[in-house]
Every structure is written in C-alpha cells, then in structure tokens.
Structure 1
Amino acid sequence: MKLLKGTKINSIFTGSCPVCQNESMYSVQNPYKVTSTLTMEEQCSHCNTKYQIEPSFFFGAMYVSYPVGLIFGGFSLFLSYIVLELSLLTSYIILVLFMLLCLPIILRLSRNIWINIFMKYDKSKAE
C-alpha cells in the first residue's frame, strides 16, 4: 500500500492514523480477537493526533456500518443465490453466517471511514 500512502483509501483499509498514516489506530491488529476488536489507542504516538475528537465520537460510525453491512450482505446474497443458484433458504443461512464472520471487519472498516471523514492526511506530520 506504499503507492496509496497519503490517500484516505490507504488509511481506511489499513486502519492507520488518518493524519500521518504511520501507525495503526488499533491496539490489537487482529480484528477477530473479540475482546479487543474496537480497542483503540488514545492518540497516535508518531504525530500525537487524538483519535476520539469528542466524547462518543465513534457513535457516528453506526451510520456508516449500515451501508457497509449492506454491501457485504449484498455480495454474499448475490454470490450464493444468483451465481451459485442455491435455494433461498441456503442463501439466507450463508448470508447470516457470512455477516457474523465479517462483523469485526465491518465494525473496524466503519470506524476507519468515519474518522477519515473528519481528518485528512498531513504530509508534514508524516515525516
């Protein structure tokens, strides 16, 4: 992702600091460690950007998680029902299982998108 450094896409998909993109925002890199899926650092140790702009800042990520979940669910349903031509019940079961497996990724991706709406890359802080 060196090519995309400095873009919001890089920060969203890597979970790196939206300002310097040198450090991960999350304490634990593995999103499937259930007890710490959403555990974030207080601030970036490289550029000192505070991640939680105001109290309950990431509640807004709920509004982002809905369309992100729809994209994941739509992909699953399209693949199982349209492409593989499975029955509707089987496709529904696959959809539910797929959404449960993707939940930690959807949660983190939504937070990454949300914070990148309000912060932008600063080349001077990246160095």
Structure 2
Amino acid sequence: MMLKGTKAYSIFTGVCPKCHQESMYKTKNPYVLSDVLKINEKCSQCDTRYRIEPSFFYGSMYVSYGVGITFAVAAFVISNLIFNSSLLTAFIAIVVTVIFCGPIIMRLSRNIWINLFMSYDKNLVKK
C-alpha cells in the first residue's frame, strides 16, 4: 500500500505533489483522450502551480521514453518468457500494450517529472 506523503503515492495517483489533496488533472480518467493532458493551473488546496514555467512538461517526454520501454519489456517478458510465444506474437503484444497504455504512460511520465522538482510538505495539509 502506498502511503500519503511519499513520491510514489503522488506519481501513481496523479495528485498534487505538495499536499496530496487533489488530482492535478481536470479529468481523472486517462482514457478520456480529449482531456488526457489537460492539467489544472494550480492546486485549489495549497495553491501550488503545476506549470512551473512555460513548456515545463516537455521534459516529461524524456521520461515517457523510459516508462514506455518499461511497459514494452513487461509485455515481452509476459508474452515470450511466461507464455512461451513466438517473437512475432511478443512483438504484437508489445505494440498493443504500448498503444493501449499510452494515456497511462503519458500521465505517469508527467507525474514523475513534476515529482522530480517538488516534494510533499505535510505543513500544507488542511485538516
């Protein structure tokens, strides 16, 4: 179980990296493709601005490469090594996984990127 106050909690839930009180995204569901990257301007609980500077989240593109590779390797291991499938079937599994998990990969990358620059502050939590 991920505990509030950890970077892992903020990364996997998509909540404010400073207070962990609300979602950074306008729509919580990453599969609403028209809203997948729409992020709130700031946290309504602690007033943390999510866009630290213009084009801040361009750096998350580099993170998404690593996250995408992680998903692809997991798909390969599951399909080829566990189910003993052919390389063609493993390749198809990788492509399907990366396409299907694309919105999750994009959000995880943004969450990781912002958590590199911000940390949880327990003093900001409203009681």
Length-normalised TM-score, structure 2:
0.96
Amino acid in the other structure paired with 2:111: N
Determine helix, strand or coil for the equivalent of 1:78: helix
Determine helix, strand or coil for the equivalent of 2:51: coil
1:82 counterpart = 2:81: yes
Per-residue CA deviations over 1:44-89 (Å, capped at 9, x if unaligned) read 0000000000000000001111111111000000110111011111
Determine helix, strand or coil for the equivalent of 1:108: helix
The ranges of structure 1 where at least 4 consecutive aligned residues each deviate by more than 2 angstroms after the TM superposition are: none
In structure 2, the partner of 1:64 is 63
In structure 1, the partner of 2:53 is 54
Separation (CA, whole Å) in 2 of partners of 1:101 and 1:90: 16
Separation (CA, whole Å) in 2 of partners of 1:116 and 1:15: 10
1:94 counterpart = 2:93: yes
Determine helix, strand or coil for the equivalent of 1:4: coil
CA shift for structure 1 position 31 = 0.2
What runs of 5+ residues in structure 1 fail to find an aligned partner?
none
What runs of 5+ residues in structure 2 fail to find an aligned partner?
none
CA-based RMSD of the aligned residues comes to 0.9
In structure 2, the partner of 1:44 is 43
1:4 counterpart = 2:3: yes
Separation (CA, whole Å) in 2 of partners of 1:90 and 1:108: 27
